[in-house]
Amino acid sequence: MRQDPRAQGLTLISPTLFYLGVFMLFPLLLVVALSFMTRGPYGNVVYRINLDNYARLIDPLYLRILLYSLRVAFATTVFTIVIGFPLAYYIARVPVRQRNLLLFLILVPFWTNFIIRIYAWIMILRTEGLLNTLLLNLGIIQVPLDILYSPTAVLIGMVYEFLPFMVLPLYTSLEKIEMAQLEAAADLGAPPWRAFLRITLPLSVPGMIAGSILVFIPAMGMFVVPDLMGGAKTVLVGNLIRNQFLTARDWPFGAAASMLLLTLTLVVTLVYTRRAGFGEELLV
Amino acid sequence: MSEKKPAWWLRLITILIYAYIYIPIILLIIFSFNSQKLNVRWEGFTLHWYRVLFQDGEVMHATRNTLVVAFISTIVATVIGTMAALALQRYRFPGYTAAESTLYIPVIIPEVVMGIALLVFFVQVRLTLGLTTIILSHIAFSIPFVTLVVRARLHGFDKSIEEAAMDLGANEITTFLRVTLPTIMPGVLAGAMLAFTLSLDDYVITYFTAGPGSTTLPLRIFSMVRFAVTPEVNALSTLWVLTVFVLLLISQIIQRRQAQ
C-alpha cells in the first residue's frame, strides 16, 4: 500500500521548488542577464551583450560608495557586538525565569515595524527634537546639535535596527557553555578574566559569526535608514541600486551593481562560515 | 551557563542597554498623547491624534491592504513551507542538497536585490504591479522561514507513533491529520506567526513590487515620516507596538502551557 518514500519526499518538496524557482531563481537569472545589457535612450533596455556596466562600476565615484557601504556595515557589526555581548552574557547567566522575560523584552521591539523604530530615533535626534530640547534646557549646549541627517545618525539607526540579530545567536552559544568548565578553570587557579578569555570568549565565536552574518548582509544592502536618517549626503550601495531602478531608470547598470552586492555578501558569508563551523546559531 | 550571580557592573550595563532599547519606544508612545503638534515638549493629554488616525482614509486603506497581503501570504507560505519541512526532515530524495540550498537563497541575499529581481520579473512577464504581485513576493520570502521553524520542531519527532497508527489500520491521510499534524502544530503555528510578522514588517520588497492603490502600512508610514514628524504617526506606532506586545504575550503563554 505504501508509496515509495523517495516519491513522497519529492511530492512534498516540489511546490516549494516550483515556487522558489519561478519567483526567486528565475528573477535572479533575469537580473544576471540584464547586467550584461545596455540602457537605451528612453530608459528602455537594449539587448546588446557587453561588459560596460561592470566597467562603469570601477569608476572612483562608485568605488567610494562601495567602500563606504562596507565601512558602515562593518561598523554596525562591531557596535552590535560591543553592545550585544554584555547583554547576551548577562541573559545567559540569570535564572531561567528571568531569562525568558529578558529575551521577551528583546523580541517586542524586534517584532515591531522597523520604520517605526527609525521614526522613534528621528523624533529624538532632529534639530528641534527631544535630545536637543533636553540638552538646551539643561544648559549643556547653546546651539542645537545637527545629528540627524549625518553619517552618525545612520550608524545609530542601523545599530538599533540590527541589535537583536546579534543578541539572539550570541545568547544561544553563551547559554550552552557549561558552568562546570568555568568552575574547573577556577579550581585550577585561573582568575575570572583568564577563564573568560580562554573559555567563554572562544566558545561564543560561533554565535558571534552567525550574528555578524545576520547583521552584515542586511546592513550592506540597506537603503531605508540612509534615506530617512542620512539626508542626501549618505549614499550606500542599496541607495545606488534603488536609484538606478526607480529614478535614473538605468536598469542594466542597477543590475550590475546588484550582482556586485550579491557577490560581496556571498563571499563574506562563505569566508565567515568556512572559518568556524556553525549551524543552529543562524536558525534561532 | 547559569546561576552564579552576575557582577553589579554587568547588571548596570544591562539596565543601560535595555534603557537604550526602550526609551525611544516609550517616548514614541508618550508623545502620541501630547496635545502639541510639533511634539517637542509635553503640553497636555489628548486622544486627538487617534481620532485623526482613524479618520485618515489613506491609513485605513493601507491597513486593509497590509492585512489582506499578510493573511493570504501567510496561509500559502505556511502550507508550502510545512510540506518542504516534512520532506527535508523525513525523506531522502534525489536533489536533496540542491533543494536545501535553494531554500536558503531568500535568507542570504540582500533584500534590495530580491526586490529589484522581482520587479524585473513582474515587468518581464507583464503582470501589473499591485496587491497580487506583493502577495506573490511575500509568499516567496516567507516560505524558507516557515520551513526553518517547522524543521526545528520536527527534530525530535518520533516516527514510530505514525507507524503504530498505520499498523492499526489508519490510512495515510488519516494518519497525517490525526497524528502528524497535531504533533507538529506548535511548530506550524510558530512558522505562520513568523511569516505573518515578516509580511507586516516588510518595506523593501513591497516598495519594489507595489503599484498605484496597493500602498501598505509600512509604505504609508515611510511617506508620512519622510518630511515631517507628526503625532499621528506616534498614535499609529503606539497601536502597532501594543498589538505586537499582546500577540507575543499570547504566543509565549501558549508555548509555556505546551512545555508543561
Report yes or no: B237 and A123 within 8 Å, Cβ to Cβ: no
Q: Is residue B33 part of a domain?
A: no
Interchain CB distance below 8 Å, A10 and B40: no
Q: Is residue B69 part of a domain?
A: yes
Global pTM reads: 0.88
Judged against a pLDDT cut of 70, whether residue B4 lies above it is answered with no
Q: Is residue A117 part of a domain?
A: yes
Q: Is residue B63 part of a domain?
A: yes
The predicted-structure confidence for B60-83, as pLDDT tens digits, reads as follows 999 999 999 999 999 999 999 999
Optimal mutation site among A3, A8, A16, A30, interface B, most CBs of chain B within 10 A: A16
CATH of the domain at B106: 1.10.3720.10
Q: Is residue A51 part of a domain?
A: no
Element holding A46 (H helix, E strand): strand A45-46
Q: Is residue A207 part of a domain?
A: yes
The predicted-structure confidence for A59-87, as pLDDT tens digits, reads as follows 999 999 999 999 999 999 999 999 999 99
Least confident of B193-202, B211-220, B244-253: B244-253
Q: Any chain A CB within 8 A of the CB of B225?
A: yes
In chain A, which residues have their Cβ closer than 8 Å to the Cβ of B4?
Answer: 93, 179
- Taking the alpha carbons at both ends of chain B, their separation in whole angstroms is 22
> What are the Cα distances from residue A113, in Å, to A1, A264, B243, B244?
50, 28, 11, 9
Average pLDDT in chain A: 87
In chain B, which residues have their Cβ closer than 8 Å to the Cβ of A213?
Answer: 108
Range(s) of the domain holding residue A104: 57-283
Q: What's residue A2's pLDDT?
A: 55
Judged against a pLDDT cut of 60, whether residue A282 lies above it is answered with no
- The minimum CA-CA distance between A49 and chain B, rounded to whole Å, is 18
Q: Which three cell numbers stand for residue A240?
A: 545606488
The predicted-structure confidence for B207-237, as pLDDT tens digits, reads as follows 999 998 899 999 999 999 887 778 899 999 9
Judged against a pLDDT cut of 80, whether residue B139 lies above it is answered with yes
Judged against a pLDDT cut of 90, whether residue A24 lies above it is answered with yes
Least confident of A88-92, B125-129, B253-257: B253-257
* Residue in chain A nearest B145 by alpha carbon: A283
Q: Is residue B195 part of a domain?
A: yes
Optimal mutation site among A11, A18, A23, interface B, most CBs of chain B within 10 A: A23
Q: Is residue A37 part of a domain?
A: no
Mean of pLDDT values over A21-27: 95
CA-based torsion, A244, A245, A251, A255: positive or negative: positive
Q: Is residue A25 part of a domain?
A: no
- The minimum CA-CA distance between B57 and chain A, rounded to whole Å, is 20
Mean of pLDDT values over A222-232: 88
Q: Is residue B94 part of a domain?
A: yes
Report yes or no: A225 and A242 within 8 Å, Cβ to Cβ: no
Q: Is residue B226 part of a domain?
A: no
The number of beta carbons lying within 10 Å of the beta carbon of residue A59 is 10
Q: What's residue B101's pLDDT?
A: 86
Judged against a pLDDT cut of 90, whether residue A182 lies above it is answered with no
Q: Any chain B CB within 8 A of the CB of A274?
A: no
Residues paired with residue B45 on neighbouring β-strands, in sequence order: B34
HSE-up of residue A283 (Cα within 13 Å, Cβ side): 14
- The total domain count for chain B is 1
Residues paired with residue A38 on neighbouring β-strands, in sequence order: A46
Q: Any chain A CB within 8 A of the CB of B222?
A: yes
* Residue in chain A nearest B26 by alpha carbon: A120
- The minimum CA-CA distance between B181 and chain A, rounded to whole Å, is 14
Q: Any chain A CB within 8 A of the CB of B143?
A: yes
Interchain CB distance below 8 Å, A27 and B120: yes
- Report ipTM (2 d.p.): 0.88
Rounded CA gap, A265 and A137, in Å?
45
- The total domain count for chain A is 1
Q: What's residue A273's pLDDT?
A: 72
Q: Is residue B138 part of a domain?
A: yes
Q: Is residue A122 part of a domain?
A: yes
In one-letter notation, the amino acid at residue A217 is I
Report yes or no: B210 and B219 within 8 Å, Cβ to Cβ: yes
Share of chain A above pLDDT 70, in %: 95
Range(s) of the domain holding residue B97: 57-209
The predicted-structure confidence for B16-45, as pLDDT tens digits, reads as follows 999 999 999 999 899 889 887 765 677 788
CATH of the domain at A213: 1.10.3720.10
Q: Any chain A CB within 8 A of the CB of B68?
A: no
Q: What is the largest CA-CA distance in chain A?
A: 84
Q: Is residue B112 part of a domain?
A: yes
Interchain CB distance below 8 Å, A123 and B86: no
Rounded CA gap, A246 and A253, in Å?
12
Q: Is residue A242 part of a domain?
A: yes
Give the SS3 label for residue B260.
Answer: coil
